[in-house]
Structure 1
Amino acid sequence: MATVIERIPFHETELVAQRDGDGFLVSIRHACDNIGVDYSRQLKKLREKTWATVVLKATVADDGKSREMAMIDRRTFTMWLATIEPSRVAPEVRPVLDAFQSEAADALDAYFHEGGAINPAATVDQLDVLARRAQSQAGVLSALKGIVDEHYLEVQGRFLIAQALGVEPELDPETMPVDVESYLDEAGVSRVERVRIRSSFGKRLKGAYIAKHGVEPLKVPRTINGTIQQVYGYTRRDLPVFDQIFESMGLVRS
């Protein structure tokens, strides 16, 4: 059964992971992209290490499609990061590598064991913090009614309920949010290429959406590359329009 991937904002990037029993697995490709090292080379090295655990997991991407993704567990993730010398990466990404080496595993621990599903060993104080956080977030969603796209609010509300109760969210696949960045990422477009084409892709997508529906798509807040930005809100219902623009620009999936 395919598992939904989670995108956790981390400094100027994001960590892509999924739950795995009591722990989590990390996407090696996305980690390599973030710290500026070659994915294929690193994956080959990991598969040759006796201490490394590398698995292929079926995941549900942001466009709702199931794909296999190479994942590593927490122990492998921390040991792998320790093997990467800062001198071997570009100067501009060394701060990112440093953050990954010193903080990434802890950030994932906090997300999967504190910020989401309720830990059975949580204290009363920890549960109280989660309850107050959920109440505050629910108030924000309520205040946005009539301002933000209703499908976006529905999805966020269901995620909020699931987090508060420590269960998996029940979502209508057609209402799952999709944005240009995540669509291009899941299509296999490199980070450098995404930066180059996403503005043009977004403008064409907006035009095609207006041509189809007669109105502009509403803007919604979404986390893009670790920061919250106002972007045009689309859902899986709009994937045929995304595919149309992708093909018209001569892009190739990988």
Structure 2
Amino acid sequence: MPRFAANLTLLFTEVPMLDRPDWAARCGFDGVEVLFPYDNPMADWERALAGLPLALINTPPGDWGSGDRGFAAVPGMELRFRESFLRAADYATRLQAGRLHVMAGVAKGPQAEQCYTENLAWALAEAPDLVLTIEPLNPDDMPGYFLNDYDQAARILDDLANPRIGLQFDLWHAARLHGDAGLVWADHRHRINHVQIAGFPARNEPGGGGFSLPDLCDDVDQHCPETWIAAEYRPAKGTAQGLGWLTALKSRGQPIGG
């Protein structure tokens, strides 16, 4: 059975951030992810996690309010990228994060792709004990974001040819970018090392959009058992009240009464 992680940035917002890991564990999640853990010291995170696995964090985006979305693909910002990556790598190492998502930033064109590929190669060499991931994001939610196509991401990963970096499959973004998230999964499953799910088209509780979550679980279990399935969505009401989908997926295959 796949492992399920709660995205603490979007879920359990009814309580303070450092209280959310405990809520996630009590609600049946196997682990958590958090987009940007940097507002809290690592020691506070260690206490809050209390041994609960941390599936993924992102590299720092910069000044979000000013439009920064990371720096890996932004020509001229190589030093800024490297400083932010080293900070992220420090958090990921100490908190034993399973994946570190390297944010590309707002950029476009061949020079940006070259910058991105070179920065990713540097990051892989600089953090040999970490597993990295990259994620295409749709332009409605992330205007101007460099990485906005799964085939583009696949080309970059193939150029890097390093098993420690893979593709982050976000069901919401894949559907918004390419229409049929199932085809995206089928085309790129062998490159995927982290999965995020949400409902479509409202990005609430997972389900709908013509995508079978039970089939996804079976595929992950069979082909990439080390991959987490993370819930990254906006709860329609209270988080705990909307977790029927998690109960249903985790109970699959269990004997009656088990």
Range of TM-score over shorter length:
under 0.3
Of the two, which has the highest radius of gyration? 1
Structure 2-normalised TM-score? 0.26
- Quick check: which one's strand share is greater? 1
- Quick check: which one's helix share is greater? 1
